[in-house]
Amino acid sequence: MKRKLHLESIYFIIFLGFTSCGDLSYLPSKSSNDRPNIIVVLCDDLGYSDVGFNGAKDIITPELDHLANNGVMFSAAYVAHPFCGPSRAGLMTGRYPHTFGSQFNLPQNSGELLNTGIPLEETFISKVLQNSGYYTGIIGKWHLGAVPEYHPLKRGFDDFYGFLGGGHRYFPSQYQPIYEKQKAAGNKIINDYLKPLEHNYKEVRETEYITDALSREASRFVDEASKKENPFFLYLAYNAPHSPLEAKAEDLAIFDFIKDKKRKTYAAMVYAVDRGVGKLVDALERNDQLDNTLIIFLSDNGGKLSLGATNFPLQKGKGSTQEGGYRVPMFFHWPKGIEGGKTFEHPISAIDLYPTFARLAKAEIPKAKILHGKDIWDDLSEGNEPHKNEIIYALRHREGYSDVGARKGDWKILKTNQNNWKLFNIKNDISEQNDLSNQYPDQMEEMILDVKNWTKSHIEPKWFDPDSLKYLWETHEMDTFKTIFDAEK
Ligand SMILES: [Ca+2]
């Protein structure tokens, strides 16, 4: 197996234009280093073009750019859903969340109001890696179940520092007094965004700006994990730059030239993430782990335009099945396994990470585990299209109807706001401007039929957000998804 990994590395480097094939010094030298550490850095609601490596002009992200430029950038990386919870469920399970009833966000304060989370039958990638000997950690936002059975430490993580809900305020000096006051008043339900963070079930009184705190804990994790014999997996799930828009004065000062207050604050929040990634890289370097660590950076969904994000040149943003909703900035960085400086333009999905990680970790996936993503490593190495003749889907239920985006190679079909289906050549028309449905009706019909068949694998949501949407299911307005397909023309 060790030899196989070496060959994979060589193929990859050949594909990426590495010319000095006689120099094999970059290859892993010890069997204990054979399997890479894996770090997923996930941002929350970060826009497609809100990082330097994807074209941001006003937001400065030197640390991320350095990694991206020395890694492989993905220009067509999609997530499983255009908003938080279902996207994260897709990442952790390698499946479309609609197929296990997790197509809505777990609602605010689900820990008190809803005794559930992502179904326990779903083995998370963290568990697969843990079972194969990886030391596993999650720092930051969970949002996959806030009651004990669904806690990160029950789902394949050895170490958890963060919060269980869907978001959090950023300044402890501001949110802690509000929390204390409500607690003293005997409030049974206190907003998730105000609650103390925890470290392995133990409540902690954080003092730092939350993004900095999460970065500090990520470095702490790397220091601890590096002392262990086996490789590690870290899921660093920043809540930034998700609302509320709260940034440090020193970071705001850097973006004084931005006049729009929301954009300025958002930029400062992204910059804080970038600084944190720099600290993470420092930690990897001081522990001599950087060369054999695969760092994956991405956002869980598109940027929210009303809160200062941009997804240019993509249309719309968070929540949409247009490209701006679920096509995200992403790169892989791995000095020992990837020669950098390239962009991979074929479409891939965040649900592909599960089987790809398992392969690189030589970890065994349970036989009964259903996966919708695929191991993309060979195709990445050889420059091939991983999803040739396959569709990458997005489907969001709204009030009584659903929006759909489905990409197959260069083609994309789109349905939003109960309008007619549209067809785009998304490779040539990334901004979804030129509807080709009249020129290529057969192409469109074939893809609509495919999406229709795909929805037959969906099950009823296990929870709703908002809860009022439950009514639409119970009155059979939504149960067959027929509202998507009735007005096909
Ligand atoms: Ca999000």
> Does residue 377 sit in the same domain as residue 401?
no
Collapsed DSSP state (helix, strand, coil) of residue 397: strand
Question: Does a structural domain hold residue 179?
Answer: yes
Q: How far is CA 306 from CA 242, 260, 316, in A?
A: 12, 12, 10
CA of 103 from ligand 1 middle (Å) equals 14
> Does residue 434 sit in the same domain as residue 319?
no
Domain CATH number, residue 408: 3.30.1120.10
> Does residue 299 sit in the same domain as residue 261?
yes
Contact 45, 309 (CB under 8 A): yes
Contact 216, 139 (CB under 8 A): no
> Does residue 198 sit in the same domain as residue 140?
yes
CA of 239 from ligand 1 middle (Å) equals 8
Q: d(Cα 23, Cα 18) in Å, to the nearest integer?
A: 10
Domain CATH number, residue 121: 3.40.720.10
Question: Does a structural domain hold residue 332?
Answer: yes
> Does residue 336 sit in the same domain as residue 212?
yes
Q: How many structural domains does the chain have?
A: 2
Closest CA to 219 of 161, 267, 172: 161
CA of 316 from ligand 1 middle (Å) equals 15
Global pTM? Answer: 0.92
CA of 257 from ligand 1 middle (Å) equals 27
Question: What domain range is 427 assigned to?
Answer: 391-485
Ligand 1 is an ion; its neighbours by CB within 5 Å are 44-45, 84, 300-301
Q: How far is CA 119 from CA 88, 92, 236, 352, 467, in A?
A: 13, 12, 22, 20, 19
Question: Does a structural domain hold residue 70?
Answer: yes
Question: Does a structural domain hold residue 442?
Answer: yes
> Does residue 415 sit in the same domain as residue 351?
no
Q: Token digits for 258?
A: 């931005």
Question: Does a structural domain hold residue 17?
Answer: no
> Does residue 280 sit in the same domain as residue 317?
yes
Question: Does a structural domain hold residue 220?
Answer: yes
Residue identified by tokens 């969970």 is 142
CA of 11 from ligand 1 middle (Å) equals 35
> Does residue 286 sit in the same domain as residue 399?
no
Q: Token digits for 142?
A: 């969970």
Collapsed DSSP state (helix, strand, coil) of residue 408: strand
Listed residues 356, 382, 408: the one ending a domain: 382
Question: Does a structural domain hold residue 8?
Answer: no
- pLDDT tens digits in sequence order for the chain, 489 residues long: 333 344 444 444 434 433 333 333 333 333 445 899 999 999 999 999 999 999 999 999 999 999 999 999 999 999 999 999 999 999 999 999 999 999 999 999 999 999 999 999 999 999 999 999 999 999 999 999 999 999 999 999 999 999 999 999 999 999 999 999 999 999 999 999 999 999 999 999 999 999 999 999 999 999 999 999 999 999 999 999 999 999 999 999 999 999 999 999 999 999 999 999 999 999 999 999 999 999 999 999 999 999 999 999 999 999 999 999 999 999 999 999 998 999 999 999 999 999 999 999 999 999 999 999 999 999 999 999 999 999 999 999 988 889 999 999 999 999 999 899 999 999 999 999 999 999 999 999 999 999 999 998 998 899 999 888 888 887 766 655 555 544 343
CA of 455 from ligand 1 middle (Å) equals 23
> Does residue 317 sit in the same domain as residue 369?
yes
Listed residues 382, 400, 426: the one ending a domain: 382
The alpha carbon of residue 210 and the mean position of all alpha carbons in its chain are separated, in whole angstroms, by 19
